[in-house]
Amino acid sequence: MWFVSNMEDLIIISDLEELRAAMPRIVTKLGSPGLVFLYGEMGVGKTTFTAAFCEALGVDESISSPTFSLHNIYSDSDGREIYHLDLYRLESLGEFLDSGLEEALYHDHWVLIEWPQLAEKMAPPGFKRVLMESDESGNRIIRIL
């Protein structure tokens, strides 16, 4: 189910197949490759969103959470890199800077970041936000800002 308003796009997903079906439209809505911040509580599906996103772009390798490695890099069907970062374990801006991951903020390819709060102040203009939450029925509500 897809709803559109002036300020945001809203999609309600009840299962993985619906997410996969909606992902080409989500990719189109996000526009050209760039920085995408993924917001949502633990377990809401940020990594699942990233996996479906990568699948829609032709990535044929397994997508996993980079919680411990901090980042994973995948290649789409055209050989372009897709960065997937997870900043959950980082506790300060200093740790983020020490990790060297800030460099990913300025690439011209897709960079999806889970738990992006530490990177917000350093992000270049024009980054996209995806807000995710679950409702009382277990559906996932995805807002693209």
Residue that is written with structure tokens 């996932």 in the block? 140
Domain housing 53: 2-144
User: Residue 132 maps to which CATH number?
Assistant: 3.40.50.300
Alpha helices in the chain (DSSP H): 16-30, 46-56, 93-99
Answer yes or no: is pLDDT of 141 > 80: yes
Residue 27's closest CA among 51, 5, 47, 57?
Answer: 57
Number of domains in the chain: 1
Cα 140 to Cα 36: distance, rounded to the nearest angstrom? 18
The predicted structure's pLDDT at residue 67: 83
CA nearest neighbour of 19 among 65, 57, 52, 43: 52
On whether the CB atoms of residues 37 and 127 are closer than 8 A, the answer is: yes
Q: Report residue 39 as tokens.
A: 């917001």
How far, in whole angstroms, is CA 22 from its chain's centroid? 15
Tens of pLDDT, residues 94-110: 999 999 999 999 988 99
For 81-95, write each residue's pLDDT tens digit.
999 999 999 999 999
pLDDT at residue 99, rounded to an integer: 93
Closest CA relative to residue 111, chosen from 90, 82, 87, 132? 82
